[in-house]
């Protein structure tokens, strides 16, 4: 159940601050080391604050074949942040995701869980502007 609890916390707070994990360890009676082992293993967990908008570029094989790595480059350039990071004003987080299973509408970009279809490099600016 530990993983399910952590998923709920991640969903609610959008990241897992240390104090939260210490408190979870105390209340659930689970060693902190075990909690950290789990949160660093799985991709769903974040140990750093996330931006208000989370932009996730799918880099599954189908998206790659249709140019996802170029989409990543443009997004990095426009947001001035590397993949895995958040902008200094915490407006945007930029991430890649292995496959969201929408391969026939590739390349796919998820913004706050909304799927955007056929996002070519030239369409990234317009897409980000929707969230600015």
Partner 1 sequence: MHTAAPAIELERRRDEIKQRLDTYRKRITVCTGTACQAYECLGVFAAIEEEIGAQGLESAVEVRKTGCHGFCERGTWVAVQPEDLCYQRVQPHDAAQIVAAATGNGVVESLLYADPVSKTKIPRGDDIPFYKHQQRTLLAPNRIIDPANLDHYLSIDGYRALAKALLCMTPEEVITEIGSAELRGRGGGGFPTAKKWRTARDAPAESKYVIVNCDEGDPGAYMDRSLMEGNPHAVLEGLLIGGYAVGASQGVVYVRWEYPLATRNIQIAIEQAAKAGLLGNDILGSGFDFHVEVHRGAGAFVSGEETAMIAAIEGKVGEPRLRYVYPAVRGLNGKPTVVNNVETWATVPAIVDRGAEWFRSIGTAASKGTKIFSLVGRLENTGLIEVPMGTTLRELVYEIGGGIPNRRKFKALQIGGPSGGMLGAEHLDTPVDFEALAEVGAMMGSGGIVVMDEGACVVSAVRDLVSFCRDECCGKCTPGREGLRILGGYFDDICGGRADESVIAAIEDVTHLMRVASLCALGVTAINPVVTSLRGFRGEYEAHIRQRRCPAKVCTELVEYHISQVKCDKYCTSCLSGCPTPGAIVGHKGVRKRIEQDKCIKCGVCEEVCPTRFSAVARFSGEPIPAAFRKGR
**12 forms part of the interface with partner 1 (CB under 8 A):** no
- Report how far residue 73's alpha carbon sits from residue 10's, in angstroms, rounded to the nearest whole number: 28
Q: Which is nearer to partner 1, 20 or 103 (CB)?
A: 103
Question: Among 20, 83, 99, 127, which residue interacts with partner 1 (rule: CB under 8 A)?
Answer: 99
- Report how far residue 131's alpha carbon sits from residue 7's, in angstroms, rounded to the nearest whole number: 25
CA distances from 78 to 56, 75, 108, 115, 128 (A): 14, 5, 18, 20, 9
Q: Which is nearer to partner 1, 20 or 97 (CB)?
A: 97
Q: Which of residues 46-65 bind partner 1 (CB under 8 A)?
A: 59-65
Q: Which stretch binds partner 1 (CB under 8 A): 13-21, 35-43, 47-55, 85-93?
A: 35-43
Shortest Å, Cβ 35 to partner 1: 11
Instruction: Tell me the HSE value of 103 on the side-chain side, using a 13 A CA sphere.
Output: 8
């Amino acid at each position: 159940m530990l993983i399910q609890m952590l998923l709920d916390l991640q969903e609610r707070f959008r990241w897992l601050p240390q104090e939260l994990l210490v408190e979870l360890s105390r209340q659930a009676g689970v060693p902190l080391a075990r909690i950290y082992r789990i949160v660093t293993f799985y991709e769903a967990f974040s140990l750093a604050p996330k931006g208000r908008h989370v932009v996730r570029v799918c880099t599954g094989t189908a998206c790659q074949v249709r140019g996802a790595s170029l989409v990543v480059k443009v997004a990095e350039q426009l947001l001035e942040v590397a993949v895995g990071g958040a902008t200094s004003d915490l407006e945007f987080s930029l991430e890649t995701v292995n496959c969201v299973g929408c391969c026939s509408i590739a390349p796919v970009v998820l913004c706050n869980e909304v799927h955007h279809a056929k996002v070519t490099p030239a369409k990234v600016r317009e897409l980000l502007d929707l969230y600015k």
